[in-house]
Chain A
């Protein structure tokens, strides 16, 4: 069947994020979000940063169109401006940093220097290609789906091009950067450094660090503030690079950092001690202080009543909860896909409103643009049944009322239910479509879920989903939180206060409220409010559960095991179900009881085998390695001699009055670039045209280096091993 979805009048824009963090694709149709998904869900490689071929294929499939129906493809970052920052960073620390340089060159030659070429060749596409600035992509993902016509937008992440944080002003269909904080001063990188130090994976474990914080005491706050960072009153920061390794090496921190905290990082296999908990708590406190100050400054410079938030740091829901309660803003809205995956969506939305000068898309019969953030694939009953039949599962088929009744009953009986229904979520959280559910009143539920189902650290808390109309009965905030991005406290009249216990496992198992499984040790909860308009199937289960038990809350954790991406298709779900202690699986209209199945079913598909690294080596690695050494000694060191001053200032002193925010560099500054000319690789002039940290004389000095770099790039073919590589676990991907 030919694609029948496209009508000539429809505007289809495809957004892509790739090669840094979790890659993703998003398709918007006339300004509405038609489809969006992370590549990891299809490739089954957690945080897959490859070119998102499968996600793109899915997005086109959702609208039954082909690439020829697209009005444009847009990439979420400007790699050529990023290159300026990377070369500048190396210039600053040279002659150190040659190892890192080699890594960077290999990565760039294979992927980032040739993004238009990769897009064209992977998709057989010859239409328009655009790049949007990284933080504009984040900002657009936060502003356009928000309910606000005028808002300040705060984006905070590791780094994108030069920016590590931006204050933007969104007004109707426009977005403008007002202030920006630049590399290497980055809250995201600071947080990632501590993630690494506490023994979690960078680019992934930031969330765990946040979860660990309530167990600790903020005893290191002063150590951090006295040594690592200068926090200005306006929320801008300056990092003391003496303690960080990321400009010189493949390491977030260095020996001075270890010394400061009395020893090296926790090894991943070692148990978490009070030190890590205290550190987690301390860096969380510092983060919250900075985010609050940044937000209040954004309020003052933009002068809007509302705030939109995106970038990886916006996934820190503890900070978000404080923003909502304590900042000067009346209301806030956060993009659920706040990390780089959401950049794909933001880039497409920005292009739509800018290039097509389109008006904001009004709510669709009361459903806002982001709705429940269910923009992934749906699988039919036929597909679910086919999967179950293939492996010989025993099941019963039910639907509607009957289905929610059965599941509510199972939950009330203490069963753990895997729930698979409708379109998959876009963003890192499971919001009921691909979720594991449990009874929050059960004291042992948190340990059971952690140890026997998720196979993960037992301290990790679980989140509740609560019927939106009942949120105020359980929590001290009844603010809508459809994407699990806000923290609220369990209401005091529901809490119990046992005496201190130092052992984490014991503390986890102490009953703290009448919904213990979702009450964190500090009596907070990371809540999802469920609105029937967004997901009636999920809502009805909880409604039924309430009828049975009087409780309008369930435990909701993502449908996966530790280190595995959230399940996508039925096969992923049945495999996860059979390899964990889940009791019941509801997959579309089919209910599967573990007790009815052959226990050996799918057992050879153990999870471990999925988690092994790709191990792909670059086929041109040697050639590029040699060439990069030459580039370093022949070009980079020479440039260093000829450039008076690096744009990166490494001096550090505590001086909280002097702002580190920078104004918008250029009045004529544009954040959107058309790359139609670049069917193949970049040209020197083109790259330099995006550089804004050097004057024109200085830019000339870089020409021989760029020329050699491009020559190297042209001499190697696209290496699939590198366009399909997994993201680093030790190092924030900033190059």
Chain B
């Protein structure tokens, strides 16, 4: 897809017939985030990694990380991601990050089936934003066309149920992209609303972004979570059609895993992290954990509840809408703890 106009001049991704898109291989580029610019690199296999992947693990324990932009590390350099921090903190452990930005759980599972599975591994990790539940269809409406500042609709492979069976559609992925209207002023109504609130709270001018980041106000968190996960509500209902599909897709991964341990790491919105607010989604993933011996549900919201509120608030970046450096560090601590507690390392 084309990058947004504030991003790099180098296009992120290329077409892949089985996955929809993958990163452009062997790329090195600077991401001009206004507060915390960073460099990213992709390897020969087309994933964000500072090294090429080897089929054989050569005596090291290896975790395969699957997931969306949170796992891929949008917002930080490769070595600042939780996967790489876990690797650095545990001896004799390799973490292969197969995370893909803007992907749905369906594509993440397909990456495992078509690509990641061929690489030796001991543990599977699936880290994704709860928002991914909205990405389970045959297309994704993505931010913007680099030049035209319009939304782009990208076709993608997806799963659907047919006579009780899980089928894959859109293989090979269609190439045709359509444009769907202009992107409003880059950030849209939420930021304008934030500015209004900012003025109402007695400020005359200044950096609204910084205020949203630092004020820890109720408003700023609501706005941020609204901006991040407007579809969050789906997890309130276990009979929801989308959740049913998501559950089946995760089960497909479990069935394909050869009984290897699978860590599920759903990432909630900032409000859930910041106020240690318990949503309904936990019970859904607990159900999966109870059903399968090799499934481990790692609840980041539960893990962070003993952290200072300021840290919890600062885990998520206003500008990238992803984990900050701190967010990645805290997530890596949670993962390391989980690996140790479960006797996996």
Q: Spell out A's residues near B (CB within 8 Å).
A: 1-3, 42-44, 53-54, 56-58, 60-61, 64, 66-67, 121-124, 377, 379-380, 382-383, 385-387, 389-392, 568-572, 604-605, 609-610, 715-717
A1-B50, A1-B77, A66-B37 are known contacts. Are A383 and B27 too (CB-CB below 8 A)? yes
Chain A positions within 8 Å of B28 at CB level: 1, 61, 64
A1-B77, A124-B34 are known contacts. Are A387 and B11 too (CB-CB below 8 A)? yes
Chain A positions within 8 Å of B8 at CB level: 57, 61
Per the bound structure, the CA–CA distance linking A2 and B179 in Å amounts to 35
The reply to whether A2 and B79 form a contact with Cβ atoms under 8 Å apart is: yes
Q: From A1, A42, A392, A569, give the contact of B15 (CB < 8 A).
A: A392
Enumerate B23-78 residues with CB–CB distance to A below 8 Å: 24-30, 32, 34-37, 39-41, 50, 77-78
B13 to A: closest C-beta gap in Å: 8
Per the bound structure, the CA–CA distance linking A382 and B45 in Å amounts to 11
The reply to whether A392 and B175 form a contact with Cβ atoms under 8 Å apart is: yes
Per the bound structure, the CA–CA distance linking A391 and B79 in Å amounts to 32
Chain A positions within 8 Å of B9 at CB level: 42, 54, 57-58, 377, 568-569
Q: Spell out B's residues near A (CB within 8 Å).
A: 2, 5-6, 8-11, 13-15, 21, 24-30, 32, 34-37, 39-41, 50, 77-79, 146-148, 175, 178-179, 204-207
A58-B9, A124-B34, A715-B205 are known contacts. Are A571 and B146 too (CB-CB below 8 A)? yes
The chain B residue sitting closest to A387, CB to CB, is B11
Q: From B14, B26, B79, give the contact of A390 (CB < 8 A).
A: B14
Q: From A3, A56, A123, A717, give the contact of B205 (CB < 8 A).
A: A717
A1-B41, A1-B50 are known contacts. Are A383 and B24 too (CB-CB below 8 A)? yes
Per the bound structure, the CA–CA distance linking A387 and B146 in Å amounts to 13
Q: From B21, B26, B40, B50, give the contact of A382 (CB < 8 A).
A: B26
Per the bound structure, the CA–CA distance linking A454 and B223 in Å amounts to 47
A3-B39, A382-B26, A604-B179 are known contacts. Are A54 and B32 too (CB-CB below 8 A)? yes
Q: From B13, B21, B146, B148, give the contact of A609 (CB < 8 A).
A: B148
A1 to B: closest C-beta gap in Å: 5
The 3 closest A-B pairs by CB, nearest first: A386-B14, A61-B30, A57-B32
The reply to whether A386 and B179 form a contact with Cβ atoms under 8 Å apart is: no
The reply to whether B24 and A1 form a contact with Cβ atoms under 8 Å apart is: no
The chain A residue sitting closest to B21, CB to CB, is A390
A559 to B: closest C-beta gap in Å: 16
A1-B78, A2-B77 are known contacts. Are A60 and B14 too (CB-CB below 8 A)? no
Q: From A60, A391, A610, give the contact of B147 (CB < 8 A).
A: A610
Most buried by A among B6, B8, B30, B148: B30
A54-B9, A58-B9, A389-B15 are known contacts. Are A124 and B35 too (CB-CB below 8 A)? yes
The chain B residue sitting closest to A53, CB to CB, is B32
Per the bound structure, the CA–CA distance linking A386 and B32 in Å amounts to 22
A2-B39, A382-B24 are known contacts. Are A61 and B146 too (CB-CB below 8 A)? no
A2-B77, A3-B39 are known contacts. Are A60 and B30 too (CB-CB below 8 A)? yes
Chain B positions within 8 Å of A717 at CB level: 205-206
Chain A positions within 8 Å of B148 at CB level: 605, 609-610
B112 to A: closest C-beta gap in Å: 22
Chain B positions within 8 Å of A604 at CB level: 178-179
B53 to A: closest C-beta gap in Å: 16
B20 to A: closest C-beta gap in Å: 11
Chain B positions within 8 Å of A383 at CB level: 10-11, 24, 27
Chain B positions within 8 Å of A54 at CB level: 9, 32
The chain B residue sitting closest to A714, CB to CB, is B205
The chain A residue sitting closest to B2, CB to CB, is A571
B280 to A: closest C-beta gap in Å: 39
A722 to B: closest C-beta gap in Å: 14
The reply to whether B14 and A57 form a contact with Cβ atoms under 8 Å apart is: no
| 28 chain-A/chain-B pairs, Cβ below 8 angstroms | A1-B39, A1-B40, A2-B39, A3-B39, A53-B6, A54-B9, A54-B32, A57-B9, A57-B30, A57-B37, A58-B9, A121-B207, A123-B34, A124-B37, A382-B24, A382-B27, A383-B27, A385-B14, A386-B14, A390-B13, A390-B21, A391-B15, A392-B15, A569-B9, A570-B11, A572-B147, A715-B205, A717-B206
